[in-house]
């Protein structure tokens, strides 16, 4: 089976003056149907990695393959398969959610009738039907996050990259989002997410990778990472690994 | 309350100063000081010969200069606080923090009113203060009356502006009031230019009758000329003007602070603006999606449109002057053609800047499966239609006066528009959309090139409209400039 995402010896530095590279020879594989949580302390290189996969940052060296497509050589083809949701959703204040989804569907060339149906479905399932015709300028952070997530899902991406996807959401909305993501994974998509809320990773990730100083310090299921330490939480494991690295 | 008031005024003025000195913020403080002192000295040096010139003219000339200044400063002193206060209510900023604090709403409002008043007249003060100083040094100390007169104008303008902004907020609701007040502020701010043109275009008989009426009503005339006489240093007028300012400020503080707090609550609870009720048209065409998005965002930002419209409006007097003075030829067609071309170039550059540099979700658009060139091409195409639509009516009017001049103007406007858009495409510097009017401060070199290109296209239009083959020279210069301004050649 072709992996959903393959990173080989991925490197990125932000100039010599910053010392060590932000991402330092990162190797990582995510399979279709997996939820992969990329954890790490601030400055570990999580967002930089996601931005390189999304085509927002050029990698200095290494390979990025999305469902077998070389994202460095064929960025447009790779982008067709990918959706990226940043921690601060980028919306247009003067557009309403339906217009935003219309715009995003156009960018990904989704057939109009299909896009319309998906937009209605997403707005409904995210509880945004009533606000579909209200401009985003008055929306709360949680509502903005949901509109951005609807935008990320409208073209049915095969690989979803989510930077802190549940930040700002109330319990009900977080459940809605988790259900939608689970449905995408069941349909064969892969999700790579970063989060500082370790409970989220513990609960929804099938595998967890812990980044430290641009390198993968550990990787595996939560049970594998916990190993012999019965009763240890992911927080304990995380702190042990990142302190040791 | 006084301590809180003083602290808030100091905070507001500090923030205003930082916004004004924005481009210098990253410089060390001694460099900022040196630049500030250098700029002040340069302005005084420039003002010195102007002061000497004014001193050499007969005594009534000062009055003409001050009258012209008052005509421009007073509307601006009202428009600027009006627009700013509506923005404060809509954008909130620190408003929630202040209203949730134990500081009284009156202290908050009066402090902001004072800061807005000072901000409203500060651009005029920066230009006029050096002139007042040098005139005083040259033996005409009455020019120093400009300082208190300007301060009073700021207070009166802020009081009226705040009253208008709050009245609109209650009458129309906070969101609609924002749009209307921004448009009104733009119209008030530009009223001096419009009024000057209206006066110039009145038939001579009507103009004389208006002036005779004013001279026959000394009380009305005295009231109208009060700010002007105050600025000229007439002690009684200055005292009356200052008194009027204090009364206006005190009344505004007493009567409007409650309304301000209520308007703030109203704005906080206002529902988000509804989008269009028209059926959404999904499309699988990336270019169409981008073009539609750009046009929607432009159309829904009347403040941006009004500001750009005003920019164009300020260019019109040149055409009127050309025509009235029989410049180029006495034909309106030939006189207006270059102006239209300049307006097309400026509008196109401004809109292209908004679409390219003012993109609100640049990272998101960059993740779309499209090349950068495809995205930029769609954005430039989105800009072309509004410019063409805005130019259609004046070009049609021009065609009525002279079909040939209209054809030349149309072709050159297309060229000037394309030049402006290309320059913005090649020299992109991301910024907030609202900063479109300050885009020239991003790079002086790009601003210079943009103005130079406008000049070349205007020159070519004027010459071509007169049938001169020499029009090819400015066209060639424009082409050469664009070639030199290609990426990797300009180092802005």
* Tens-place pLDDT, residues A93-138: 889 999 999 999 999 999 999 999 999 999 999 989 888 888 888 7
Looking at the fold, whether B174 and B239 belong to one and the same domain comes out as yes
Can you give the pLDDT at residue B197?
Answer: 59
Looking at the fold, whether B172 and B205 belong to one and the same domain comes out as yes
Q: Is B277 within the bounds of a domain?
A: no
Taking each helix axis as running N to C, give the angle between helix B403-426 and helix B372-401, from 0 to 180 degrees, rounded to the nearest 10: 160
pLDDT tens digits for range B342-374: 889 988 998 999 999 888 899 999 999 999 899
User: What is the edge-to-edge ordering of all strands in the sheet holding A5-12?
Assistant: A23-30, A5-12, A61-66, A69-70
pLDDT tens digits for range A16-67: 545 678 899 999 999 999 999 999 888 888 989 999 999 888 999 999 999 9
Can you give the pLDDT at residue B324?
Answer: 61
- CA-based nearest residue in chain A for residue B375: A107
Q: Do A55 and B364 touch (CB under 8 A)?
A: no
Q: Do B273 and A116 touch (CB under 8 A)?
A: no
Q: Is B282 within the bounds of a domain?
A: no
Q: Is B23 within the bounds of a domain?
A: no
Q: Do A112 and B289 touch (CB under 8 A)?
A: no
Q: Is B284 within the bounds of a domain?
A: no
B444 to chain A, any CB pair closer than 8 A? The answer is no
Q: Is B275 within the bounds of a domain?
A: no
Q: Do A135 and B272 touch (CB under 8 A)?
A: yes
| A211-225, B71-85, B208-222: segment of lowest average pLDDT | B208-222
Q: Please tell me the distance from the alpha carbon of residue B370 to that of residue B364, in angstroms, as a whole number.
A: 12
Closest CA to B286 of B367, B359, B358: B367
Residues of A in contact with B430 (CB under 8 A): none
User: What is the edge-to-edge ordering of all strands in the sheet holding A159-163?
Assistant: A82-85, A159-163, A190-194, A35-39, A207-212, A215-220
- Residue B119 · residue B81 · CB < 8 Å: yes
- CA-based nearest residue in chain B for residue A116: B282
H/E stretch holding A216 reads: strand A215-220
Looking at the fold, whether B262 and B329 belong to one and the same domain comes out as no
Select from B268, B302, B330 the last residue of a domain.
B268
B297 to chain A, any CB pair closer than 8 A? The answer is yes
Q: Is B278 within the bounds of a domain?
A: no
Looking at the fold, whether B297 and B354 belong to one and the same domain comes out as yes
Q: Which of residues 47-66 of A touch B (CB under 8 A)?
A: 54-56
Q: What is the reported pTM?
A: 0.72
pLDDT tens digits for range A76-98: 999 999 999 988 888 998 899 99
Select from B202, B234, B268 the last residue of a domain.
B268
**Rounded to 5°, angle at Cα B339 from B337 and B342:** 115
Residues of A in contact with B297 (CB under 8 A): 92, 94-95
Which residue among A96, A105, A134 sits closest to B271, beta carbon to beta carbon? Answer: A134
Looking at the fold, whether B295 and B253 belong to one and the same domain comes out as no
Measured between alpha carbons, how far is residue A15 from residues A21, A26, A62, A182, A214 in Å? 8, 18, 17, 39, 15
Q: Do A102 and B276 touch (CB under 8 A)?
A: no
Q: What is the tally of structural domains in chain B?
A: 2
Residues of A in contact with B274 (CB under 8 A): 96, 133-135
- The greatest distance separating any two alpha carbons of chain B, rounded to the nearest whole angstrom, comes to 73
User: Would you give the distance in Å from CA B154 to the centre of its chain?
Assistant: 17
- CA-based nearest residue in chain B for residue A109: B284
Select from B268, B303, B319 the last residue of a domain.
B268
B270 to chain A, any CB pair closer than 8 A? The answer is yes
A79 to chain B, any CB pair closer than 8 A? The answer is yes
Q: Please tell me the distance from the alpha carbon of residue B425 to that of residue B413, in angstroms, as a whole number.
A: 18
Neighbours of A100 (CB within 10 A): 24
A56's CB contacts (< 8 A; 6+ apart) are A84, B363, B366, B367
Closest CA to A147 of A161, A168, A126: A126
The phi, psi pair for A176, rounded to 5°, reads -55, -45
Model confidence band, residue B492 (pLDDT cutoffs 50, 70, 90): very low
Residues of B in contact with A109 (CB under 8 A): 284-286, 369
Q: Do A102 and B281 touch (CB under 8 A)?
A: yes
Looking at the fold, whether B365 and B261 belong to one and the same domain comes out as no
Residue B26 has pLDDT above 70, yes or no: no
Q: Please tell me the distance from the alpha carbon of residue B467 to that of residue B458, in angstroms, as a whole number.
A: 14
Q: Is B492 within the bounds of a domain?
A: no
- CA-based nearest residue in chain B for residue A139: B272
Looking at the fold, whether B350 and B460 belong to one and the same domain comes out as yes
Neighbours of B465 (CB within 10 A): 28
B104-132 burial code (b ≥16 CB/10 A, e <16): ebbbbbbbbbbbbbbbbbbebbeebbbbb
User: Look-up: residue for tokens 């990426």?
Assistant: B487
Neighbours of B467 (CB within 10 A): 10
- CA-based nearest residue in chain B for residue A114: B282
- Residue B345 · residue B453 · CB < 8 Å: yes
Looking at the fold, whether B232 and B150 belong to one and the same domain comes out as yes
- The greatest distance separating any two alpha carbons of chain A, rounded to the nearest whole angstrom, comes to 54
Length of chain A: 245
Residues of B in contact with A110 (CB under 8 A): 282, 284
B280's CB contacts (< 8 A; 6+ apart) are A98, A99, A102, A116, A119
Looking at the fold, whether B238 and B323 belong to one and the same domain comes out as no
Q: Is B435 within the bounds of a domain?
A: yes
Looking at the fold, whether B264 and B307 belong to one and the same domain comes out as no
B242-262 burial code (b ≥16 CB/10 A, e <16): bebbeebbeebbeebbebbbe
Facing residues of A26 across strands?
A: A10
A210 to chain B, any CB pair closer than 8 A? The answer is no
Gap from B216 CA to chain A (nearest CA, Å): 53
B372 to chain A, any CB pair closer than 8 A? The answer is no
CB pairs under 8 A between A and B: 126
Range of the domain at B419: 289-485
Model confidence band, residue A244 (pLDDT cutoffs 50, 70, 90): low
- CA-based nearest residue in chain A for residue B284: A109
Q: Do A139 and B272 touch (CB under 8 A)?
A: yes
pLDDT tens digits for range A153-194: 999 999 999 998 888 788 888 888 888 999 999 999 999 999
Looking at the fold, whether B258 and B319 belong to one and the same domain comes out as no
| A142-151, B327-336, B460-469: segment of lowest average pLDDT | B327-336
Residue B156 has pLDDT above 90, yes or no: yes
- Residue A24 · residue A10 · CB < 8 Å: no
ipTM of the complex: 0.85
Gap from A148 CA to chain B (nearest CA, Å): 10
Looking at the fold, whether B324 and B383 belong to one and the same domain comes out as yes
């Amino acid at each position: 089976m072709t992996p959903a995402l393959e990173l080989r010896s991925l490197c990125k530095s932000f100039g010599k003056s910053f010392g060590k590279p932000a991402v330092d020879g990162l190797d990582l594989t995510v399979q279709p149907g997996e939820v992969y949580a990329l954890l790490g302390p601030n400055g570990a290189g999580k967002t930089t990695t996601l931005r390189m996969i999304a085509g927002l940052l050029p990698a200095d060296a290494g390979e990025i393959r999305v469902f077998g497509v070389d994202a460095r050589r064929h960025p447009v083809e790779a982008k067709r398969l990918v959706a990226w949701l940043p921690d601060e959703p980028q919306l247009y204040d003067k557009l309403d959610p339906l217009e935003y989804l219309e715009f995003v569907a156009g960018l990904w060339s989704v057939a109009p009738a299909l896009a319309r149906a998906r937009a209605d479905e997403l707005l409904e399932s995210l509880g945004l039907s009533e606000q579909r015709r209200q401009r985003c300028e008055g929306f709360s952070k949680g509502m903005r996050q949901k509109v951005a997530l609807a935008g990320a899902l409208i073209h049915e991406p095969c690989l979803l990259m989510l930077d802190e996807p549940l930040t700002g959401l109330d319990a009900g909305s977080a459940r809605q989002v988790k259900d939608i993501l689970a449905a995408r994974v069941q349909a064969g998509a892969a999700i790579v997410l970063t989060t500082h809320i370790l409970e989220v990773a513990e609960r929804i990730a099938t595998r967890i990778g812990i980044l430290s100083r641009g390198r993968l310090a550990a990787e595996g299921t939560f049970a594998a990472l916990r190993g012999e330490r019965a009763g240890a939480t992911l927080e304990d494991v995380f702190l042990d690994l990142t302190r040791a690295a | 309350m006084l301590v809180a008031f003083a602290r808030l005024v100091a905070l507001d003025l500090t923030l205003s100063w930082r916004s004004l000195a924005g481009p210098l913020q990253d410089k060390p403080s001694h460099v900022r000081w040196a630049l500030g002192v250098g700029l002040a000295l340069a302005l005084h040096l420039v003002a010195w010969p102007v002061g000497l010139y004014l001193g050499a003219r007969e005594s009534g000339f000062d009055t003409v200069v001050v009258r012209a200044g008052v005509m421009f400063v007073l509307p601006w002193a009202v428009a600027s606080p009006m627009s700013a206060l509506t923005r404060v209510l809509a954008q909130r900023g620190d408003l929630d923090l202040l209203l949730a604090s134990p500081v009284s709403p009156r202290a908050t409002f009066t402090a902001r009113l004072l800061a807005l008043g000072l901000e409203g007249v500060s651009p005029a003060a920066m230009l006029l203060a050096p002139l007042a100083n040098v005139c005083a040094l040259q033996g005409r100390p009455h020019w120093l009356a400009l300082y208190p007169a300007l301060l009073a104008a700021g207070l009166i303008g802020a009081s009226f502006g705040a009253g208008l902004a709050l009245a609109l907020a209650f009458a129309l609701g906070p969101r609609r009031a924002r749009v209307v007040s921004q448009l009104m502020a733009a119209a008030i701010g530009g009223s001096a230019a419009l009024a000057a043109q209206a006066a110039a275009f009145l038939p001579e008989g009507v103009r004389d009758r208006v002036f005779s009426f004013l001279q026959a009503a000394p009380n009305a005339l005295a009231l109208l000329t009060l700010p002007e006489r105050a600025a000229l240093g007439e002690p009684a007028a200055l005292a009356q003007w200052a008194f009027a300012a204090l009364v206006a400020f005190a009344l505004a503080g007493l009567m409007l602070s409650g309304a301000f707090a209520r308007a703030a609550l109203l704005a906080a609870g206002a529902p988000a603006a509804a989008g269009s009720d028209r059926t959404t048209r999904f499309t699988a065409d990336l270019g169409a999606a981008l073009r539609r998005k750009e046009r929607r965002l432009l159309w829904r930002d009347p403040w941006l449109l009004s500001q750009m419209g005003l920019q164009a409006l300020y260019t019109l007097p040149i055409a009127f002057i050309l025509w009235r003075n029989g410049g180029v030829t006495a034909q309106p067609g030939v006189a207006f053609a270059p102006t239209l071309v300049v307006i097309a170039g400026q509008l196109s550059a401004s809109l292209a800047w908004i679409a390219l540099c003012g993109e609100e979700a640049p990272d998101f658009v960059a993740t779309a499966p499209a090349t950068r060139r495809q995205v930029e091409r769609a954005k430039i195409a989105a800009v072309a239609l509004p410019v063409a639509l805005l130019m259609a009516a004046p070009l049609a009017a021009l065609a009525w006066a002279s079909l040939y001049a209209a054809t030349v103007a149309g072709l050159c406007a297309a060229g000037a528009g394309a030049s402006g858009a290309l320059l913005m495409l090649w020299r992109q510097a991301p910024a907030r959309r609202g900063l479109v009017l300050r885009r020239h401060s991003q790079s002086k070199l790009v601003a210079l090139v943009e103005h130079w290109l406008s000049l070349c296209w205007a020159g070519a239009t004027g010459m071509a409209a007169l049938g001169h083959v020499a029009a090819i020279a400015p066209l060639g210069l424009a082409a050469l400039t664009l070639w030199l301004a290609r990426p990797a050649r300009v180092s802005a």
